[in-house]
Amino acid sequence: MILKKKKVIFSLSAIFLVGVFLLPFFSFLTIKTASGADVSDTESSIEKTAKQIKEEMEKKARYESDVQRLQGAVNSTQSVINQTANVIETTEETISRKEKEVERIEASIEKQKDILRRLIQESYYNYNQPAVYFVTGSDNFSQIVSTRDHLSSLKKKVVMMVDGIKESQSNLEKEKEELEGKKEEHEDILQEKQAEKNSLVSEKQVFEEKVAEKEATIGELQQKMNELRNDLNRILGKSYDTGEIKDAIKFANKVTGVRKGFLFGMLSMESGGNPLAGNCTYTDSIMTTARKKYFKQICDELDYNYKKRPVSCASKSYPGSGGAMGAAQFMSDTWMGYKSKIASATGNNPPDPWDLLDGVVAMALKLENDGATESGKVSIKNPCNGKSVKVDWEIYASMKYLGWTCYGYTNYAPGIQSLAKGYDNL
């Protein structure tokens, strides 16, 4: 009986000890499973949000295309308005000139009549025949001048001169009427085109509001994306906190003058602030031979195992482009070109591409070198169609950062500008 009790006690003790030792293990399994579920859920949310951002950016691009189309129509209509206004102004000037000419002719007629009166008076005095009365009409002229043969020639000349002046006056009046008719026609055209322009401007404003709405939506989604990426990085133990990212951006801005929002957009687009961004290693990244050499050198100087450092994978769109390092996603050969400048700016010698501050400063230095701090616009050849276009310097610098591609022009660079607005939410 006592033996049985001992066996029971031993069995219970054994079960207790097994439970004590196995409980942490099962708890660990539970935690790992929960972490795996968290990672999967977060990655799924990131993928879904990225898809939403893409859809919203495509809608925004269509609306922007509509805005550009309507702006073109507005510009074209405005050109017609300007031309019509110029025609009206010229016509008004011509009418004013004709009116002055008519006034001069009327004054000339009166002057000729006055001369004629004096000649008739003088003629009568010369022949000792007093002038009984003076008249101005041509009929009265005929009655007066017919009384003297020597006045016949004078009458003909004066009458012809007055008739010519009156004919000129009549022609000018007709021209003035025609000009006034044309002016009214052009005023009708002007009014019609102004109404057309107002309609186009109103329609354009509708699409501009839609663009603004999409920008706001994209900004919210990108903020959500940043939060999700931060969540994922925290789960994986990879991320920098917001304060560190903001401090690094502020420091790089002070060193280079590159806009803080632009740096944030670049950092968000390239890695989401992940210092260990990249799912490949030296072995499977398909780096070029030259980049492999520099990569080994960088790792050796930092006492890193070059075979284990995370780098970006090669893209089908960019053969040989695998091997980008750290949060700034610098290639090894590019890093070597900026190495001394990075060290001078941060004091870290040798600088570390997997260090947040070194990476952000490297990014800022390259962007500055490619004109990101310049104002105004720069003319480039559109990589999609080869046509000449003008873009902001930040667009140009970000395209240079990625590589000169159509995707860089249509998606990458505009996307960074949208992401840049998220800096204020840090």
User: Looking at the predicted structure, is the pLDDT value of residue 329 above 80?
Assistant: yes
* Nearest one of 290, 242, 270 to 353, comparing CA atoms: 270
Averaged pLDDT score across all residues of the chain: 77
Q: Report the 10 Å Cβ neighbour count for 171.
A: 13
> What mean pLDDT comes out for the span 173-177?
79
More confident residue, 26 or 121: 121
User: Looking at the predicted structure, is the pLDDT value of residue 93 above 70?
Assistant: yes
Which range is most confident: 179-183, 267-271, 313-317, 320-324?
267-271
CB proximity list for 217: less than 8 A, separation 6 or greater: 56
C-beta separation of 416 from 259 below 8 A: no
pLDDT digits (tens, 9 = 90+) for 154-163: 656 666 776 7
pLDDT digits (tens, 9 = 90+) for 206-241: 988 888 888 778 777 766 766 676 665 555 555 566
> Rounded CA gap, 293 and 332, in Å?
9
User: Looking at the predicted structure, is the pLDDT value of residue 19 above 50?
Assistant: no
Q: Two tokens at 160?
A: 């012809």
User: Looking at the predicted structure, is the pLDDT value of residue 37 above 80?
Assistant: no
User: Looking at the predicted structure, is the pLDDT value of residue 120 above 70?
Assistant: no
In the structure, what pLDDT confidence band is assigned to residue 140 with cuts at 50, 70 and 90?
very low
> What mean pLDDT comes out for the span 361-384?
95
At 122 the pLDDT is 61
User: Looking at the predicted structure, is the pLDDT value of residue 394 above 90?
Assistant: yes
The C-alpha angle 331, 279, 406, rounded to 5 degrees, equals: 55
Amino acid letter, 155: K
The pTM assigned to this predicted structure is: 0.50
Angle between helix 260-270 and helix 356-369 axes, rounded to 10 deg? 110
At 229 the pLDDT is 61
Q: Give residue for tokens 């591609």.
A: 405
> Rounded CA gap, 46 and 54, in Å?
12
User: Looking at the predicted structure, is the pLDDT value of residue 405 above 70?
Assistant: yes
C-beta separation of 50 from 411 below 8 A: no
What secondary structure does DSSP assign to 102-113, as a single string? HHHHHHHHHHHH
pLDDT digits (tens, 9 = 90+) for 265-277: 999 888 877 777 7
* Nearest one of 326, 297, 296 to 312, comparing CA atoms: 326
> What mean pLDDT comes out for the span 398-413?
90
At 23 the pLDDT is 33
At 4 the pLDDT is 38
Share of the chain above pLDDT 70, in %: 73
More confident residue, 203 or 148: 203
pLDDT digits (tens, 9 = 90+) for 240-262: 667 788 899 999 999 999 999 99
> Rounded CA gap, 264 and 246, in Å?
8
Among 39-43, 94-98, 131-135, 209-213, which stretch is predicted with the lowest mean pLDDT?
Answer: 131-135
